[in-house]
Amino acid sequence: MWVVGGAASDASASVTYWYGDVWSSSNGSSWTQATASAPFGGRYGSQVLSYNGLLWMIGGNQTNALKNDVWSSPDGANWTQVLVNQPGGTATHFSPREDFGAIVFNGAMWVIGGWSGTTKNDVWTSTDGITWTQVATTGGLTGRWGFMMTVYNNRLWIMGGATGGPNPTGGHSDVWSSPDGAAWTMVSNLNNFGNLFYSQATVLNNQILLTAGEEFTWGPRDYLKSSSDGITWAFGDPMFPSRFYHLGLNFNNQTWVIGGMNNITTRTYYNDVWHSP
């Protein structure tokens, strides 16, 4: 498991520190620092993928500047910039953004939506991290950031997310899926989990699992919600304190929840680690 970068803020929610460190663990209890200061610099709202035997760092927010650069590493310590930051983006390079979705699907890396000065709903894919192809989409997937995304039953799934920005003015409780990243179908528009964002989606026991998150106008949650079809969702017993903006991942056939923050009374950052049975 890898933890890369992040941020800390003051009581007013203004970010005061951007982390550029890289850590790894094989058991969640003992962590090894690969580097204290990666060359891509401190950032949050970025995404890290494992693809073709490499780690990939993509985009994010660095000292309040949105980025669309791409870096790769074989070991978490040595990083190579494969795509430089390009303000505004190009025909083969998505625009700078944060809180977007990134995932490996059908043998390629995908970047979807996020906040780029506006709320985005664009879809991009690449097999080398250098040349990105914008996918023409159908079905009406709406713009959002801080949403949940996973691969399940050979399809891409997107759930929830926030609108407006850079602070949310609304949220989503819908579920979308796609077999190819181009044709999107709204699976459900029910109030499945509230207007939830900054949650995490994984797959466990042949079901989509959502962990924690921030519910618009309500605050941090300790949710565990699962579904086998994206329509009917069941509550599970929470195992950890309420939080959002955490890391959620699958490792060793378990779902892991790492870190995050809580702002119910005071702004608290976590560095705890939890996993499913």
Answer yes or no: is 141 within a domain. Answer: yes
Q: Which domain holds residue 237?
A: 136-277
Answer yes or no: is 120 within a domain. Answer: no
Average pLDDT over every residue of 78-89: 97
Answer yes or no: is 116 within a domain. Answer: no
Structurally, how many domains does the chain consist of? 2
Contact 18, 30 (CB under 8 A): no
Q: Please check whether residues 94 and 159 belong to one and the same domain.
A: no
Q: Please check whether residues 18 and 89 belong to one and the same domain.
A: yes
Q: Domain of 207: which CATH number?
A: 2.120.10.80
Q: What is the pLDDT of residue 36?
A: 97
What is the chain's alpha carbon radius of gyration, rounded to the nearest angstrom? 17
Q: What is the pLDDT of residues 167-207, one digit of tens each?
A: 899 999 999 999 999 999 999 998 888 899 999 999 999 99
Q: What is the pLDDT of residue 11?
A: 66
Q: What is the pLDDT of residue 16?
A: 83
Q: What is the pLDDT of residues 15-24, one digit of tens each?
A: 888 999 999 9
Tokens of 28: 């969640």
Answer yes or no: is 224 within a domain. Answer: yes
Q: Is the pLDDT of residue 239 over 90?
A: no
State the pLDDT confidence band at 14, using cuts at 50, 70 and 90: confident
Q: Please check whether residues 79 and 158 belong to one and the same domain.
A: no
Answer yes or no: is 108 within a domain. Answer: no
Q: What is the pLDDT of residue 223?
A: 83
Q: Please check whether residues 175 and 77 belong to one and the same domain.
A: no
Q: Is the pLDDT of residue 103 over 70?
A: yes
- Residue ending a domain, among 99, 126, 147, is 99
Higher pLDDT among residues 252 and 11, named by residue: 252
Q: Please check whether residues 95 and 168 belong to one and the same domain.
A: no
